[in-house]
Structure 1
Amino acid sequence: MLTGKGVLALATATMLTLAACSGDTPQLMHLRASGDGPDEFAILPTKSLQMPTDLKTLPEPTLGGTNLTDPTPEADIALALGGRLRDGTGIPAGDSALVNHSARYGRSASIRTDLAADDLQFRRDNNGRLLERVFKVNVYFKAYAKQSLDQQAELQKWRNRGVRTVSAPPAKADE
């Protein structure tokens, strides 16, 4: 039978164990970061240097102005999607249908912070059971299991429709 001091020691150990399980942000993959880190979307490679065909057509350098090698991700995306570069302000008439269609459900300027807050709440709600947290069992894949894509089923669906999937492994022969 436990004495008064034994009960007190057991209660203290239990409280410390439970306190150690709590945290501000659930770390589903048990990664520990010392800070916020860089914004991976803010890191843009510069374009390669090229010799212009005519040196007289180069723009006059301006303090704080743009450079020909500065990254232009919005223009690059527009060109990759078949759009055209903007000469001035606004959206070119030929691209207005694309812009309107992509924004048909609305758009949010704070999408990153909204998604980060939603993801944090989801991870807090799916942080695992007490013993999973105590023994540092990875609950990341279990928490996101309902949102994961069955890759083989999706691949088979597209192959059944006759779509070529050249980057996927070849279909296995029935044995």
Structure 2
Amino acid sequence: MRGARLTVLMVLTAGLALAGCSGDKQPELMNIRSTNSTPDEFAILPVKPLEIPEDLAALPAPTPGGANRTDPSPAADAIAALGGNPARLAQTGVPSSESALVSQATRFGVAGDIRQTLAAEDLEFRRKNDGRLLERLFNVSVYYRAYRAQSLDQHAELARWRRAGARTVGAPPSQ
């Protein structure tokens, strides 16, 4: 009996020790992995039909790793289906129609390394809120608890807007 308890204690100690050794792994607050090994039907995208152009000399030279005319482009296809201009996806820089917005947003200056700064701050936040030992061991999602202080109470906010007299057509009617 004593030997069985000692064995159980040693197994638990080894499991907890291994759970604490996370190494350089990035902390994940939302654990949403599929547990089955079946194919993902949403990963299969149909390609566009092959077409022969009027002038074969107009075809671009093939580039290894480059885009193909028949490659699926779901974002551009969705924009075109909704009546937008898919060519705007390829544009770089700031469109002239948004220059006033950009000048207003950058009136106090712009940090050139903002992406790196935010990535480092986010990594530090996720490391601090990575969950307790057993939560990490059993792969429990700690996302909602980690971001609780930054979340919005949707019901209180809806009541605040209604008290202010604003129309809330997207919300269900008040009881």
2:130–2:142 contact (8 Å) kept in structure 1 = yes
1:126–1:143 contact (8 Å) kept in structure 2 = yes
The number of residues matched between the two structures is 127
**Counterpart in 1 of 2:28?**
27
Gapped runs of 5+ residues in structure 2? 35-73
- 1:121 is aligned to 2:124: yes
Provide the C-alpha distance between the structure 2 equivalents of 1:72 and 1:10, rounded to a whole number of angstroms: 58
- TM-score by structure 1 length? 0.55
SS of corresponding position for 2:97: coil
Higher normalized contact order (CA 8 Å, seq sep 6+, divided by chain length): 2
The alpha-carbon distance between structure 1 residues 163 and 133, as it changes in their structure 2 partners (threshold 3 A), is same
SS of corresponding position for 1:128: coil
The alpha-carbon distance between structure 1 residues 161 and 73, as it changes in their structure 2 partners (threshold 3 A), is farther
The alpha-carbon distance between structure 1 residues 146 and 69, as it changes in their structure 2 partners (threshold 3 A), is closer
Provide the C-alpha distance between the structure 1 equivalents of 2:112 and 2:76, rounded to a whole number of angstroms: 24
SS of corresponding position for 2:76: coil
SS of corresponding position for 1:157: helix
Moved over 6 A (4+): none
Amino acid at match of 1:28: L
1:45–1:71 contact (8 Å) kept in structure 2 = no
1:44–1:71 contact (8 Å) kept in structure 2 = no
2:76–2:86 contact (8 Å) kept in structure 1 = no
Higher share in helix: 2
The alpha-carbon distance between structure 1 residues 22 and 31, as it changes in their structure 2 partners (threshold 3 A), is farther
The alpha-carbon distance between structure 1 residues 170 and 109, as it changes in their structure 2 partners (threshold 3 A), is farther
Gapped runs of 5+ residues in structure 1? 34-42, 50-67, 86-90
Deviation for aligned residue 1:21? 3.8
Percent of paired sites with the same residue: 41
Q: How does 1:30-109 map to 2 (within 5 A)?
A: 30-31=31-32, 44-45=75-76, 48=80, 70-72=87-89, 84=97, 95=100, 98-109=101-112
